[in-house]
Amino acid sequence: MNIYSHTALYLIHAWSMLIARISIVLAILSVPVTALVYGAWVVEGLPIMILIPFVVWVTSALVLVFSGLLLKCDVCGKHPTVTWQATQKVNSTRDTNTQKIVEFFYAPELRDKKFKCVHCGSEFLLGNLPHRP
């Protein structure tokens, strides 16, 4: 397995996807919370409680798109993307629900510190970071 040449860019790409997922969930949840706090739907302008998660979401989505455009596979030259596919099978039924939530928010590529190009199948390590075998 080779070390990927654009490790920092790939990590920015993966982390911006993580931030985008968390911020859109917070943005959606902040609307009813704001309605409960104010007692009714706010008609004149958006409160800051709703606006901040949406701004973070848009910003992280833009970073995600631009970093994805700059990524190239070292072998085939195509764009390797964060696939967000579950790599670990859960044997315990007790941890299944927790594992599903973790898999939704935290990409396996970030946890494993390695990824596979979806086009050519080449596997890369993300720098000299410790990784799981």
Q: What is the pLDDT along the chain (133 residues), one digit of tens a residue?
A: 788 888 888 888 888 988 998 898 888 888 777 777 776 655 566 677 778 888 999 999 999 889 988 888 888 888 876 665 544 554 445 566 777 777 777 777 777 788 888 888 888 888 765 555 4
CA angle 123, 130, 81 (to 5 degrees): 35
CA nearest to 71, candidates 55, 83, 59: 83
Domain boundaries, the chain: 2-125
> Whole-angstrom Cα distance, residue 105 to residue 21?
7
Backbone angles phi, psi at 49, to 5 degrees: -65, -30
Q: According to the model, what pLDDT value does residue 80 have?
A: 74
